[in-house]
Amino acid sequence: MMLWLTIPPLLSIPLSIILIAFGGESGKVSVGAPLWVLLLMLYFSLSMLYVVSIRREAFAVLTPVQLASQGIMVCLVSLEAGSPPITPWLGVTGAVAGIFMLIHFSAGQKQKGARQQPEKRETASDSPATSAAPGGFPFPSVVTDGEGTILYANAAFEELTDGKSVKNEKITSFFIPGEPEILLEKKKFTALQKAQDNRFYFLLIDEIPQQKKSGQKTAFELFDSKTGFYSRGYAKVRIAEELSRANRYRRWLCGILLKIKCTSLPGLSRQEALEETFLIAYCQFVRDSIRNSDMGFFMGGDELLILLPETPQQGAKDVSLKLVDLPEGLAEMKKDYPFTVDIEYGFLYYSGNYPLQYDQFMEKLYSSLGGAME
């Protein structure tokens, strides 16, 4: 309520009375009707801006608007009233200062809006087409509308198209939906498809090599049923692909090897069921501690392998130390078991600047247990 009592006309009236009271006939200067009209229009425009700013709670604008409007009124009234010569100049100074403050405020708001614009673009990109599509997912994935027009494709899919954007193109330009196996860029994939909310979601999984055993063809499991991590068989396929991709695009790739060693206490037999219980609980801890874009593999026995794409060397080491530092729940669980648990780690940093094969990668990774390899 108090702000409404400070609008420019309410302050200008007593100020004008004071200027007229101290004026004299000898110092009067006729401003002329055109200039009077021009400056009064500017004055009332500033007054309206003051009122609007109060309504919008833009309080930072009030001071420069008040200064500019009162400066105009002091200049006009003091000239017509014959006030001391310095008075009009004080009015001019106040008006100019207020206008410059307004210009500065306006420029600051424009720069602020420019800084916020990229954030708005990122928020706008969180549309229904992309919110359900995992951008950091390691498998190629695509989302289309009901007509088969691509709304979103993640980076892994665009890598198969030489990195070009495929948005707004037809999915049939790349493969035929509904086929269990597809060929894309001379590479076979198994295509998984799901429809939801008039959109189609496609996930491409690398073709799983067949192995001959007793005259029959068998395929290894993609996931290990006990731990929920990728299987050892799939590790050989996936890690080889990630090494090739890191070398092609000169990207960092780090691997962490975790070896869980359970040693029975003297005089006690081995408790395999309890060891497995601890292993499953520890795997859940590891899964919760890594990023969605990281990949975990159960290598069999007591070994876990974590693959961290685009991760610097220090970042991989920090993750390694975090994974061997058991949380309170696991630490208490370990105390109640009739065996000791030691977790050994090693990690390997690959810069992507030279070719590296799967066997070489694994050899260096195993050699790094108890230390780190570069």
Between residues 124 and 250, the one the model is more confident about: 250
Give the side-chain half-sphere CA count within 13 A for 26. Answer: 2
pLDDT in tens, 318-356: 999 999 888 888 888 878 788 888 899 998 999 999 999
265: Cβ–Cβ under 8 A, 6 or more apart, which residues? 338, 339, 340
Chain mean pLDDT for the chain: 79
pLDDT in tens, 197-235: 778 888 877 765 554 444 444 456 788 888 889 999 899
Edge-to-edge, what's the strand order for the sheet holding 181-184? 150-153, 141-145, 199-206, 187-196, 181-184
Could you give the percent of the chain with pLDDT greater than 90?
A: 20
DSSP string, 256-296: EEEEEEEEEPTT----HHHHHHHHHHHHHHHHHHS-TTSEE
Model confidence at 126, in pLDDT bands (50, 70, 90)?
Answer: very low
Could you give the percent of the chain with pLDDT greater than 70?
A: 82
| Domains along the chain with CATH numbers | 2-124 (no CATH), 129-206 (3.30.450.20), 224-373 (3.30.70.270)
Does the pLDDT value for residue 315 go beyond 80? yes
**Mean pLDDT along residues 105-124:** 55
Does the pLDDT value for residue 369 go beyond 90? no
Does the pLDDT value for residue 31 go beyond 60? yes
pLDDT of residue 207: 62
Does the pLDDT value for residue 306 go beyond 90? yes
Residue 363 structure tokens: 């050899």
342: Cβ–Cβ under 8 A, 6 or more apart, which residues? 260, 261, 263
Does the pLDDT value for residue 255 go beyond 90? yes
Greatest mean pLDDT among 26-30, 39-43, 146-150, 350-354:
350-354
pLDDT of residue 342: 87
pLDDT of residue 125: 42
pLDDT of residue 252: 93
Q: How many CB atoms lie within 10 A of CB 345?
A: 21
**Strands, E, within the chain: which ranges?**
141-145, 150-153, 181-184, 187-196, 199-206, 210-213, 216-219, 253-264, 295-300, 303-309, 339-350, 372-373
pLDDT of residue 77: 81
Segment among 218-222, 305-309, 314-318 with least mean pLDDT: 218-222
CA-based nearest residue to 109, from 154, 61, 69, 173: 61
DSSP string, 187-199: EEEEEEEEEETTE
pLDDT of residue 27: 62
Residue 230, strand partner residues: 223, 297
| 107-115 contacts at long range (C-beta below 8 A, 24 or more positions apart) | none
Between residues 177 and 304, the one the model is more confident about: 304
Give the side-chain half-sphere CA count within 13 A for 323. Answer: 30
**Mean pLDDT along residues 144-149:** 82
Between residues 196 and 110, the one the model is more confident about: 196
**Mean pLDDT along residues 239-266:** 90
**Mean pLDDT along residues 241-246:** 92
